[in-house]
Structure 1
């Protein structure tokens, strides 16, 4: 990610969040933090930096009580959020009655948070700052913004000559370990991490309230796929294959999910195998999932990510791709990389730097830290960046070294 793009992203992010806080005092009170999410945070992005995912966390634990999180038995992988105790606490204090006034408009008669009302609230705030075809200047640059909404994401399309990029702002309710509702057991080795409830729209019957929120476990997933040598390089190659074949409906998260399941099935040293061998293995897995038309959600296997869609054509085409790749592997293994990567990418792959990090260690650290300190800490904890004297020097330059020492010795997680 080049420095100018990083700077532009930071400028627009700060502008939007600051304006949202100015426009709505409840948002200003409840908005906890905002983190880079998606492929960049996972270090799995394969293209130039033109799309960013920004998770805006809403904290409902500021009232000495927490929301009651319940599993949605009708929608595997989803949860329901009951805020009855929070509403009571808000009314007990004159300083938080303004929060009660807002929250009571976002719930149903049984005090369950309605995700469509929640989304409308966020959309209303963004409308107040007039993101649609708006314009602002900062640090000598002009930024033109255009706003759209799709699914749980509020997308801001940014143009600042000669560059353009988009930001997906995804609001989410932050949840703690004692609110864990995934069917997979809570990973006790990562007690400092949090999960989120995402207001992803789902089709409801006429007149039926939408109280079902999608569980999201990105921080945990980052630790699972981290520090696995060639895992991320093969994942990037599969994403390139997906893009070249125009399999746009097979989402990046589906590919990531295949790797999460494979981490369960394989020992850590499995990912030390040659990239070409791992690519063939993972395409075989991909074909298996397509043939069964079933890819279970990692955190709740009753949820099938491939439930919707037709996968037969993709499955047949991938079988032909696999046949050709196996032929190359038997005669000239290195040719597989040439199919997917250009010379510069292959050079980086074969460099002396750790294979799991495409950019240099120092550049990776500075990029992660400049985007958001929390994101950097999660990447560091995942093992993708190996501790070293050079790394400690960079941490000191970025004023992160004391924070890392605190986390290592006290094992705490900053909110």
Structure 2
């Protein structure tokens, strides 16, 4: 049996895993596993809609035959964890109250009040993390799957699941699910760190292309022996996408179509403002604003501004319904930019926080970087003249597709063969 992680929001409308479906099906087809079951991690927070969680669990467990590890923990174990956390949090608060004057000073700023505010939710987070580790370890120990496929390997949930799997003797592997860039702090490892300072990593980390493997091993401290170039396998689905009738009709108007792909990024309000200004100034273009699926706060504002323009609309449906129809994608670091280049569609990456551009952004060919509203407006002026991307840029993108997205690996079914087997000693 192959287990694969899933959390609320990762099932697509058609019922597949947003990031792992292609790989799960491929592993079953080549005989690496006979069965696959979702491993439904996480617990709802007070901010979650209970009905949404109920629907998610019913589908994951009833329709997909999933495993819900939280059911493996007992009430007494939860109480023990809660008591332990309460003791430690009380000691931490007491220590903070008795810190000497100036302890929290950084240059001229006193950061101690910020620290006290930040730990207000630490206890509940610690409870959930410890409970997830304990419950997942018990579930994995009993089930003993052939392998455990993860979407998130360096984020908190992924690290907890990897640690639980390692304690259970279960082999883990994960696949790169989006772009990796220099300021992606969670992909920076200290190769000499020990203990809690050295986060658990999967037994195999499948990356898109050789350039990503080199970045992680040579600059980011990842052990090269766990890295395997497998190609951007989930991008296979992009080649099968067809636009919905809504966007077929929109394209029939004869105007270039611009997709603005939102992110959970502190600069998105500024980015949206710039793009709405451009939409007002360019009635010869059609704009579609697609907020991030978890951006609940920005939806109303985006919808309101779109209704005031004749050439802008908001779209919250599947990316496959629109991406094949667009002429340009604008975003910050969104994976949609990667997907666009895969399809031969140009993109503009807005880096307005002073962060450095990722290697893939500089070498993608069909991608321009804009760091200000002026640079963004200049790019749109070039777009209107048909001068945004040259023939050389399109040729460069072909090299990029191989080095950064492992284009030739994606179509090779043998790439994943043996990935669930331990490496030879």
Q: TM-score, normalised by structure 2?
A: 0.26
Specify the structure having the higher radius of gyration (Cα).
2
Q: TM-score, normalised by structure 1?
A: 0.26
